[in-house]
């Protein structure tokens, strides 16, 4: 009995960390130019498929619409825009892939791979064209 209580007491603080090894939640995107937070994106799940929506801009003076987009998002406001579409959890891994991500600043849509790191406090977001070697990775920081 005492052994069970001791094990439970030791494992209890680790549960929030284990529960966070997912991209679900609100994230600060980081500007490549200055390394500062650029926007808040909420990643949610519906029927096993992830989507990410811009909830807040953290950069003053950024053009409000995605005029460079070439799909159904062209000319629409960046605020409230779905920039992540179609990602699914890879079998047996803490990796979500198979979807795409839009860079609303240049209108380019990239293939997507997301991996929670540092106990789920950060998210590696890799956007690429063709193969994963041809792309770039940003590290987003969890807000909640």
Distance of CA 59 to the CA centre of its chain: 18
Q: Find the mean pLDDT for residues 11-26.
A: 66
Task: Render pLDDT for 40-85 as a digit per residue (tens, 0 to 9).
Answer: 999 999 999 999 999 999 988 888 999 999 999 999 999 999 999 9
pLDDT at 11 over 60: no
2-142, CATH topology level: Lipocalin (2.40.128)
- For the chain, give every domain's residue range: 2-142
pLDDT at 15 over 60: no
* Radius of gyration of the CA atoms of the chain, in A: 17
Number of residues that this document lists for the chain? 144
């Amino acid at each position: 009995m005492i052994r069970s209580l001791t094990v439970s007491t030791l494992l209890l603080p680790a549960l929030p960390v284990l529960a966070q090894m997912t991209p679900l939640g609100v994230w600060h995107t980081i500007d490549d130019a200055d390394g500062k937070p650029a926007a808040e994106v909420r990643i949610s799940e519906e029927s096993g498929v992830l989507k990410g929506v811009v909830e807040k801009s953290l950069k003053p003076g950024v053009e409000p619409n995605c005029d460079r987009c070439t799909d159904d998002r062209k000319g629409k406001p960046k605020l409230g825009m779905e920039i992540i579409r179609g990602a699914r959890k890879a079998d047996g891994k803490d990796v979500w892939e198979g979807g795409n991500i839009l860079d609303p600043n240049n209108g380019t849509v990239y293939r997507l791979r997301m991996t929670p790191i540092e106990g789920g406090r950060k998210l590696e977001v890799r956007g690429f064209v063709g193969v994963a070697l041809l792309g770039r990775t940003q590290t987003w920081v969890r807000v909640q």
